[in-house]
Amino acid sequence: MIAGSNLEKVINSGNFVVTGELGPPKSSEITQLKHHAEEMKNHVDAYNITDNQTAIVRTSSIACGSTLIQMGLEPIIQITVRDRNRICIQSDVLGAHALGMKNILCLAGDHQSFGNEPGSKGVYDIDSMQLLKGLKDMRDENRFMGGDELEAPISYYLGAVENPFADPFEYRVDRLEKKINAGASFIQTQCIFDLDRFEKWMELVRERGLHKKAAIMGGVTPIKSLGAARYMKNNVSGITIPDELIDRLKGAEKKKVEGLNICIETIQRLQEIEGVAGVHIMAIAWEEIVPEIVERSGLYPRPKV
C-alpha cells in the first residue's frame, strides 16, 4: 500500500474499479457539484476532479477536492502543467496532501488557446512525464524537484492518462511504459469509442506486462445525442469516434437510449479484456446517469475495502 486511498485499496483488492468525474463550475457556487457527488457516491470508488478542463477557468480542483473530503468522499485531483510552474505545482501538492487528498492524476492539459483565456501565457515549465517523476521523487525520495528535502514525508497515489487513439500508435505503448516508470500506479485512458483499436493497444500492453505494473482503467463517455458525438469527433482533441458508431446513433430512434447502450456495452467488453483493471466514467453534463450505467454494467454494489 502506498497512500491507502480507497482507489488504491479497490485496485489492490482485484475488483474492477470504477471512477467518476466531476467538473467544477465557472463560478464558486459548487452546490451542483456536491449534488452530483452525492448522486453517484454509492456507485464510484473515487471522483476525478478536473483542473480547468479545456483551459476554461473554473473553481480549482483542490478546492473542490477539499469539499469532497468534508463530505466523506474521495477525490482524484487532476494537475495539469499548463497553468503552473514547478514551484506552484509542488506547493499545491503539499496543500492538497495537508487537506487529506490522496490521489493525484498528472496530465499536460489542453492548450490554453482552446479555452476562455486564449491570450494567457501557457506555463509548460515541466511536462506530464516530468511531473509524474517529480511527484514520485517527492514521495519516495523525500525531495523536491530542485533537490531540496521536504521537512516531513508525504504520500499519495499517482496516476496518469494515456490516449491509445493518438498518434503515432506504436509509440503509445512505449509512452505508457515510460509513464509507469516515471511513477504512475494507475492509468486512465482517453474516452474509448473505437474498441478495436483499444484492444489492439491492450494486446501490446499485455505483451510487455504493463498491466501488471499499473492499473489500466478504460475511459468511457455516454453520448447524449448525435450532435454531441459529431462535436466530439470533430472538435475534441485526442478523441476518435468511428463512423459505424455515428451511423448506429443516426439509425436509432432514441439517441439518448442508444448512447447509453453503447456506453454500457463498452464497459461490459472492457471487463472481459485481460489486463483492464477498471473503468473511468466521464459523464460531464450527464452526471445523474452514472448510477444507471454502473448498475447495468454489473458493477454495483461497489466493494467495501
Partner 1 sequence: MIIAERKPLEEIAAMAAPYKKICVLGCNTCVGICMAGGEKEAAETASLLRIHRNKENQEGEVDVFSIERQCEVEFIDEVLERLQGYDLIVSLACGVGVQSMIEHVPTLRVVPGLNTTSMGYPTEQGVWAERCLGCGDCVLHMPMGICPITRCAKSILNGPCGGSAEGKCELGDDIDCAWQLIHDRLSSFSRLSDLTEIQPPKDWSTSHHGGPRTTVREDVRIDRGE
Residue numbers of the site for partner 1 (CB under 8 A)?
A: 81-82, 86, 108, 110-111, 113, 122, 124-130, 133-134, 145, 161-163, 166-168, 171, 174-175, 177-178, 181-182, 190, 237-238, 240
Rounded Cα distance between 19 and 40, Å, is 10
Helix then strand then coil, in percent of the chain rounded to 5, is: 45, 15, 40
Comparison of 170 and 274: residue with beta carbon closer to partner 1: 170
Q: For 29-102, where are the E strands, in sequence order?
A: 46-49, 75-80
Rounded Cα distance between 201 and 107, Å, is 20
Comparison of 23 and 134: residue with beta carbon closer to partner 1: 134
DSSP 165: T
Rounded Cα distance between 234 and 158, Å, is 31
Q: How far is the CB of 163 from partner 1 (least distance, A)?
A: 3
SS3 state at 68: helix
Q: How far is the CB of 129 from partner 1 (least distance, A)?
A: 4
Q: What angle do CA 75, 105, 4 make, to 5 degrees?
A: 55
Q: How far is the CB of 31 from partner 1 (least distance, A)?
A: 32
Comparison of 59 and 190: residue with beta carbon closer to partner 1: 190
Are 5 and 74 contacting, i.e. CB atoms less than 8 angstroms apart? yes
Measured over the CA atoms of residue 256, residue 193, residue 19 and residue 100, the dihedral's sign is negative
Phi, psi of 79 (to 5 degrees): -130, 120
